Amino acid sequence: MDQSISEGIVGRYWHVLPDGRVQCDVCPRYCKLNEGQRGLCFVRARHNDRIVLTTYGRSSGFCIDPIEKKPLNHFLPGTPVLSFGTAGCNLTCKFCQNWDISKVRAFDRLQDQASPAAIAEAAVRTGCRSVAFTYNDPVIFLEYAVDVAQACRARGLKTVAVSAGYIAEEPRVEFFRHMDAANIDLKGFTEGFYKNLCTGHLTPVLETLEYLKHETEVWFEITTLLIPGENDSVEEVEAESRWVMEHLGPDVPLHFTAFHPDWKMTDKPPTPPATLRRARRIAMEAGIRYVYTGNIHDPAGQTTYCHGCGAALIGRDWYDLGTWTLSAQGRCRACGMPCAGVFDGAHGDWGRRRRPVSVQAFV
């Protein structure tokens, strides 16, 4: 028996099919497994006729990041967030920018044994305001993420999911009930992009975005990594921007970030800054109020502006904050217009630092 499968905990979303296979119901792949088989994400598997999560309590490492790195520009700006991931992924993006974690097939990288209580303790004692499930998609380690989120909220911490939003309807409800904020990757805006480059589908991601907007209180922002020649055309950015306006409204922030050649896509050049600025312009012309460029230095494209009077509310250069002209209640000090988001008095001063943390020290 595969040792790492036998160590798993039993998952919550699966059922037995008439032909004897067991179907995982966590994400729209609905993997149908025979005994001993793993799902596409590699971390869920069939063991003793049940679906188990094999990475419960095991992490690929912890780091304190700026919240802007998730990216979240309207959620407790300037504060540190204890960030971690596990292994595996339920999409197969050829352009993956975290492939050393998401594509891992051996769990020797998962060295940090981390209980939910130890993670919450580490976050509190290192001065973090929140804990983020990131680096790989937390949808696939849902049961672990939910337990960690509950432990963190019990200690007064906020919880953040960084996800592609590729999750089935029933687990979606449970997962996001335990999240205070999310960044959802909208990887492109055509079915062809999802099919050819991620072996997935666009519609479930759009359903997740609509669910978050209309049925939850989760603060969320959207990120689209623009890849030259794949999803960066004027038409595609216009279509995405129109959809966001029509289905989510003007207050959901949209980040256009720069691609760097990686994983199985090394034949494409990095995204030119001009492409990111053009996308930002298109989205703002469509009516979206908060649109940002990312992974480049572009203070004008990374500053938050008041949609009432145009004043700079939060100056930003990459992860460094400058200007701050918001009131404690998150209103423009010049005209009183509210800025959408979650603000809590003065901004934090964590800056661009990244600090690795050993959670073992807090057990």
Interacting residues toward ligand SF4 by CB under 6 A? 24, 26-27, 29-31, 39-41, 44, 90, 140
**HSE-up (13 A, CA, CB side) for residue 197:** 21
User: Is the separation of the CB atoms in 122 and 82 below 8 Å?
Assistant: yes
Question: What CA–CA distances, in Å, run from 149 to 47, 117, 159, 176, 303?
Answer: 26, 10, 6, 10, 30
Which residue number is nearest to ligand SF4 in terms of Cβ? 39
Our CB check for ligand SF4 shows the closer of 29 and 331 to be 29
Our CB check for ligand SF4 shows the closer of 168 and 254 to be 168
Give min distance, CB of 166 to ligand SF4, in A: 8
User: Is the separation of the CB atoms in 338 and 43 below 8 Å?
Assistant: no
Question: What CA–CA distances, in Å, run from 336 to 36, 95, 179, 258, 314?
Answer: 60, 42, 29, 34, 15
Our CB check for ligand SF4 shows the closer of 29 and 187 to be 29
Burial of 356 per CB tally in 10 Å (0-12, 13-18, 19+): exposed
Burial of 29 per CB tally in 10 Å (0-12, 13-18, 19+): buried
Give min distance, CB of 108 to ligand SF4, in A: 21
User: Is the separation of the CB atoms in 118 and 166 below 8 Å?
Assistant: no
Give min distance, CB of 16 to ligand SF4, in A: 15
Our CB check for ligand SF4 shows the closer of 143 and 180 to be 143
Give min distance, CB of 4 to ligand SF4, in A: 14
Our CB check for ligand SF4 shows the closer of 175 and 350 to be 175
Q: How far apart (Å, rounded) are the C-alpha atoms in residues 205 and 87?
A: 21
Give min distance, CB of 26 to ligand SF4, in A: 4
Give min distance, CB of 358 to ligand SF4, in A: 29
Give min distance, CB of 316 to ligand SF4, in A: 35
Chain centroid to Cα 27, Å, comes to 16
Our CB check for ligand SF4 shows the closer of 26 and 145 to be 26
Our CB check for ligand SF4 shows the closer of 31 and 114 to be 31
Give min distance, CB of 159 to ligand SF4, in A: 20
Percent helix, strand and coil across the chain, each rounded to 5?
A: 30, 25, 45
Our CB check for ligand SF4 shows the closer of 80 and 138 to be 138
Give min distance, CB of 3 to ligand SF4, in A: 19
Our CB check for ligand SF4 shows the closer of 164 and 283 to be 164
Question: What CA–CA distances, in Å, run from 98 to 64, 119, 137, 267?
Answer: 17, 22, 10, 17
Nearest to 167 by CA among 29, 5, 318, 314: 29
Strand partners, 223: 185, 255
Q: How far apart (Å, rounded) are the C-alpha atoms in residues 252 and 216?
A: 14
